[in-house]
């Protein structure tokens, strides 16, 4: 009897153990491991991502610049895919077998049970054919999203473009998944967080051919997509378009700022490209062409270009000289087509000696080198003098990024240590670095920085962070600062008077605008690699400035040759709305001039 009871207990234990194993397995499959659950659900329902439309982009007058258009992606669920007619699908999609096979492998690698984008941005005509025959391809379905649509055919560097996310983008921000799009350059990149919106989700019931049969659970698990916020820019698109026209077939840049607010009115890098060239499937075709173009249309010269400012730098030198007391407006220096100042400094023919206003009007090189030498030698040693001089230059935003709206270069304003190393001594002489006085030497400034210091001149001593998007929220408002320059207002009035004379009677005469007082300064920036560059800074009206700008034309030879007349046309266009008949011939010449030398 005891043996029977013992056997009974053993059998019962075995049965209980087997039951526990089954229960554990069921718990594992149904609760811990959702693989089978996913398989079952995917045979009857499908979760689709709802992509939001990106925010629209407007100019300062609320004119639409960037819109959206419908696009279609072919989505693949690897677990549901069966044998299909590969040749037919290739013919419909218009892609190569290699691309299709590579993308299928990527989809399977991502997840056998979750949807992935197989082919993105399918054109409308191909989509129509595919939609009719999609029932033949179990495991595939169409997902609707949007592509950008541009209402201008220029300024691609400003707007930027949207492309598919990279693995690095996904790792950096879990919002993104393979097949998503992200702003890659320009405004699209800087303001991605505003423009992108928020993705949604839709769960649908499907049959065994993966055809949609309705909403799952009456949409209980759906999440609507939230469209991106619109971007209201500070651009005047008419001025932007006109600047693009004037800079056609030229290299360089134009930046125009409203001095009172720091709002960017126009920003043109030349040459640029039509942003519609790199939308959708055209991106893969046209981007390599743009990238390999020797004229570098993808390169933003307004924020990345490092240029010597040339004589446009002289008004800043004058301000520092007046503020430090090493000169007065009546201080005279001699110049007889040049002067010996540690070395011979050449100049053009003009009267001699000159006072400060004469020197600004005629752009006299020896005057400003003498001034610079006095600033440096007023300190216990030249090295310390340079450090003090450099602080004034930094106060104008030179040598640093001045806008947060674009990927900007710092330029180059050498630190004292740079010259210690280069000159192999700390006992400098002013003549070693006096080319800085006339905007040459090691100094390199971006057009954005040049426009910003011109705005500071117009404001008589302060500037507001240059920006191209109206600050609609606290986050955007916090990006803006007002910075004061440590120079007395009366010194600005003196220098501005000289800049008025430069436009009325001096080197900047071709920037004159009838019935509008313009203050400006020409610059001819030496170029060791070829023809010198043409530069001009200006603002107007002097009494109540509404526009401050820089025009930089590579290989334009003299500041008066191209930069000054282009600046005058832009000022007239912005302030008057049209070009006067007397300037039509000048306008025609600027538009038709081609300064781009073909590559050998």
Distance CA(186)–CA(192), nearest Å, equals: 10
DSSP letter at 383 equals H
pLDDT value of residue 26: 58
Q: Which two tokens stand for residue 269?
A: 């890098």
pLDDT value of residue 5: 59
Residue ranges, comma separated, of all CATH 3.90.1310.10 domains in the chain are: 45-232
pLDDT value of residue 38: 43
Cβ atoms within 10 A of the Cβ of 399, count?
19
pLDDT value of residue 284: 79
pLDDT value of residue 219: 67
- In tens, the pLDDT along 581-598 reads 999 999 999 999 999 876
What pTM was computed for the model? Answer: 0.86
Are 92 and 264 a contacting pair, CB within 8 Å?
A: no
Are 234 and 258 a contacting pair, CB within 8 Å?
A: yes
pLDDT value of residue 40: 47
Place of tokens 């069921």: 26
Burial of 473: CB neighbours in 10 Å, binned 0-12, 13-18, 19+: exposed
Helices (H), 29-78: 35-42
Q: Give residues with Cβ within 8 angstroms of 152, minimum separation 6.
A: 65, 237, 240, 241, 275
Ordered DSSP codes for 475-488? HHHTT--EEE-SS-
Q: Which two tokens stand for residue 553?
A: 């034309």
pLDDT value of residue 401: 94
Count the helix, strand and coil residues of the chain and give each as a percent rounded to the nearest 5. Answer: 45, 20, 35
* Residue from 265, 548, 271, 567 nearest 397 by CA: 548
Q: What is the largest CA-CA distance in the chain?
A: 135
CA angle 429, 410, 155 (to 5 degrees): 135
pLDDT value of residue 220: 74
Half-sphere exposure of 477 (CA within 13 A, CB side): 3
Distance CA(354)–CA(360), nearest Å, equals: 10
Query: Which letter, b or e, does each residue of 80-100 get, where b requires 16 or more Cβ atoms within 10 Å of its Cβ?
Result: bbeeeeeeebeebbebeeeeb
Place of tokens 């043109």: 268
Angle between helices 563-576 and 584-592 (to 10 degrees): 120
- Domain at 45-232: CATH architecture: Alpha-Beta Complex (3.90)
DSSP letter at 52 equals P
Mean pLDDT by 10 residues, the chain (600 residues): 59 65 60 48 68 94 94 86 89 88 88 83 85 88 87 94 91 88 93 92 72 68 89 97 96 97 97 90 85 93 94 96 97 84 78 93 92 95 96 96 92 94 90 91 95 98 95 82 95 97 92 96 82 93 97 88 95 96 94 79
Query: Which letter, b or e, does each residue of 405-435 get, where b requires 16 or more Cβ atoms within 10 Å of its Cβ?
Result: bbebbebbbbeeeebeeeeeeeebebebbbb
Place of tokens 């029977």: 4
- In tens, the pLDDT along 173-188 reads 989 988 888 999 999 9
Are 64 and 58 a contacting pair, CB within 8 Å?
A: yes
* CATH 3.40.710.10 describes domain 237-283+300-592: yes
């Amino acid at each position: 009897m005891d043996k029977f009871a013992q056997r009974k207990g053993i059998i019962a234990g075995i049965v209980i153990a087997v039951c526990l194993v089954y229960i554990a397995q069921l718990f594992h499959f149904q609760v811990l491991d959702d693989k089978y659950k996913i398989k079952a659900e995917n045979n009857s329902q499908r979760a689709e991502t709802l992509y939001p439309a990106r925010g629209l982009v407007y100019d300062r007058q609320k004119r639409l610049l960037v819109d959206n258009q419908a696009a279609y992606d072919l989505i693949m669920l690897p677990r549901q895919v069966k044998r299909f007619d590969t040749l037919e699908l290739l013919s419909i999609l218009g892609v190569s077998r290699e691309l299709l096979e590579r993308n299928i492998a990527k989809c399977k690698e991502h997840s056998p049970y979750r949807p992935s984008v197989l082919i993105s941005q399918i054109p409308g005509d191909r989509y129509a054919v595919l939609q009719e025959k999609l029932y033949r391809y179990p495991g595939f379905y169409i997902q609707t999203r949007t592509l950008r649509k541009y209402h201008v055919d220029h300024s691609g560097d400003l707007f930027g473009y949207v492309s598919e996310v990279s693995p690095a983008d996904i790792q950096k921000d879990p919002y993104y998944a393979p097949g998503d799009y992200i702003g890659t350059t320009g405004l699209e990149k800087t303001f991605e967080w505003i423009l992108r919106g928020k993705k949604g989700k839709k769960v649908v019931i499907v049959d065994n051919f993966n055809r949609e049969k309705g909403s799952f659970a009456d949409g209980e698990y759906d999440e609507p997509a939230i469209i991106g916020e619109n971007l209201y820019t500070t651009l005047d698109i008419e001025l932007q378009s006109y600047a693009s026209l004037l800079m056609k077939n030229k290299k360089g840049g134009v930046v125009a700022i409203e001095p009172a607010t720091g709002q960017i009115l126009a920003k043109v890098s030349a040459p640029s490209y039509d942003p519609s060239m790199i939308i959708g499937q055209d991106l893969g075709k046209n981007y390599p062409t743009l990238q390999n173009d020797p004229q570098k249309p993808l390169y933003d010269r307004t924020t990345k270009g490092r240029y010597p400012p040339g004589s446009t730098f002289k008004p800043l030198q004058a301000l520092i000289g007046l503020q430090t007391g090493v000169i007065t407006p009546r201080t005279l220096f001699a110049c007889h087509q040049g002067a010996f100042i540690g070395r011979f400094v050449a100049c053009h023919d003009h009267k001699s000696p000159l006072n400060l206003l004469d020197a600004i009007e005629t752009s006299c090189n020896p005057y400003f080198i003498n001034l610079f030498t006095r600033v440096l030698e007023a300190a216990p040693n030249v090295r310390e003098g340079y450090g003090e001089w450099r602080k004034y230059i930094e106060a104008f935003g030179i040598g640093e990024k001045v806008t947060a709206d674009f990927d900007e270069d710092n330029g180059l304003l050498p630190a004292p240590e740079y010259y210690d190393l280069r000159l192999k001594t700390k006992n400098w002489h002013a003549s070693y670095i006096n080319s800085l006085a006339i905007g040459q030497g090691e100094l390199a400034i971006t057009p954005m920085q040049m426009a910003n210091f011109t705005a500071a001149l117009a404001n008589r001593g302060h500037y507001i962070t240059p920006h191209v998007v109206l600050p609609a929220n606290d986050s955007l408002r916090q990006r803006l600062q007002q910075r004061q320059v440590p120079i007395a207002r009366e010194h600005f009035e003196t220098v501005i008077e000289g800049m008025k004379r430069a436009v009325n009677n001096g080197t900047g005469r071709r920037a004159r605008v009838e019935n509008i007082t313009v203050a400006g300064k020409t610059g001819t920036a030496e170029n060791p690699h070829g023809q010198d560059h043409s530069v001009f800074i200006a603002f107007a009206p002097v009494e109540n400035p509404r526009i401050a700008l820089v025009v930089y034309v590579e290989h334009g030879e003299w500041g008066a040759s191209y930069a000054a007349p282009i600046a005058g046309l832009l000022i007239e266009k912005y302030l008057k709305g049209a070009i006067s008949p007397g300037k039509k011939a000048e306008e025609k010449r600027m538009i038709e001039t081609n300064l781009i030398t073909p590559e050998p």
